[in-house]
Amino acid sequence: HAKHTGRNRYAFFTEEMQAISTRALTLGNALHDALERQEFSLHYQPQISLITGKIIGAEALIRWHSLELGHVSPGEFIPLAEESGQILAIGEWVLRETARQLKQWLEEGITPVRIAVNLSYAQFQVNDLPAIVAAILNEYAVPAQYLELELTERIATKDPEHTITILESFQQLGIHTSIDDFGTGYSSLSYLQRFPVYKLKIDQSFVRNMTTNTNDQVIVGTIILLAQQLGMTTIAEGVETKAQLEMLYNIGCDDIQGYYISRPIPAEEFKIGFLQKKQRFLVAQD
């Protein structure tokens, strides 16, 4: 009986592993042509101030519509692109597309908001990244104030001295930076204090259950206090309900981002729904 179970288990694992690697191969091949075929686009997710109710920025999130595979989520293809090295070209495309979009809005006479772009580890390791970013902004004549760069806590803490050097370069260029998925990594407080970043993005895993789980509520509250002490602002990610919004307002979180306000949406929809409307998008006390 034991042998039988063992054999079944073996067969099960190989089939599953086979399926995973086949999918990875198919994705990898499709990814190879994706840039050339212009299969990528950016969606924009608004960020709202809990104090004023107004839009303060947006996060640019990559979308891939593959000819063969249809929509593939970044959670699935970004790790593959990181492994293959394609992330450098894709990451540069994201920066360039953001700058192009900002230039277009400016030319249309629309005042944009600051757009946050996610950086991957490989990009962050390129020593002349600040020069590359500056060249792109320059090429599109977009003021640095309209760009923000997000670095996950995990990436930021891998080599803290390198992080400080790069973040200082961005600061000198007038480009804002933020620490993404904060609370899930291993920041040493002494380094965090030396990181010249503007905001901490509270990871959505803590926001998700904060209204029912006291531990998560305490973690979110502690991150907010920490940020206040360090002179940084806070934005909560993954806000989906009014209850979460109200609790975040009450404990002093500055800004929010999440489905409660809007899902990430295409540029045109974002322009019409958020950039051209000079309204308050929420009032916490409603």
| 78 lies in the binding site for ligand C2E (CB under 6 A) | yes
Supply φ then ψ for residue 195, to 5 degrees.
-80, 115
Distance CA 201, CA 258 (A): 12
Distance CA 172, CA 38 (A): 33
Residue with the shortest CB distance to ligand C2E: 258
Closest separation in Å from C-beta 68 to Mg ion: 27
| 180 lies in the binding site for ligand C2E (CB under 6 A) | yes
| 74 lies in the binding site for ligand C2E (CB under 6 A) | yes
Which residues, 102 to 141, sit near ligand C2E by CB under 6 A?
118, 120
The correct pick among 264, 267, 275, 282 for binding ligand C2E (CB under 6 A) is 264
Q: Which stretch binds ligand C2E (CB under 6 A): 74-82, 127-135, 161-169, 209-217?
A: 74-82
| 85 lies in the binding site for ligand C2E (CB under 6 A) | no
Binding mask of the shown chain, residues 233 to 272, with x at each position contacting Mg ion by CB under 5 A: ----x-----------------------------------
Which residue carries 């090429």 as its tokens?
139
Number of other CB atoms surrounding residue 146 within 10 Å: 22
| 118 lies in the binding site for Mg ion (CB under 5 A) | yes
Closest separation in Å from C-beta 15 to ligand C2E: 28
Q: Which stretch binds Mg ion (CB under 5 A): 90-98, 212-220, 229-237, 278-286?
A: 229-237
Q: Mapped to the 3 state alphabet, what secondary structure does the chain carry? A: CHHHHHHHHHHHHHHHHHHHHHHHHHHHHHHHHHCCCCCEEEEEEEEEECCCCCEEEEEEEEEEEECCCEEECHHHHHHHHHHHCCHHHHHHHHHHHHHHHHHHHHHCCCCCCEEEEECCHHHHHCCCHHHHHHHHHHHCCCCHHHEEEEEEHHHHHHCHHHHHHHHHHHHHHCCEEEEEEECCCCCCHHHHHHCCCCEEEECHHHHHCCCCCHHHHHHHHHHHHHHHHHCCEEEECCCCCHHHHHHHHHCCCCEECCCCCCCCEEHHHHHHHHHCCCCCCCCCCC
Closest separation in Å from C-beta 86 to ligand C2E: 11
The correct pick among 97, 238, 254, 255 for binding ligand C2E (CB under 6 A) is 238
| 153 lies in the binding site for Mg ion (CB under 5 A) | no
Closest separation in Å from C-beta 161 to ligand C2E: 22
The correct pick among 58, 72, 94, 179 for binding ligand C2E (CB under 6 A) is 94
Q: Under rule CB under 5 A, how many of the chain's residues touch Mg ion?
A: 5
Residues making contact with Mg ion (CB under 5 A): 118, 150, 180-181, 237
Residues making contact with ligand C2E (CB under 6 A): 45, 61-62, 73-75, 78, 91, 94, 118, 120, 180-181, 204, 237-240, 258-259, 264
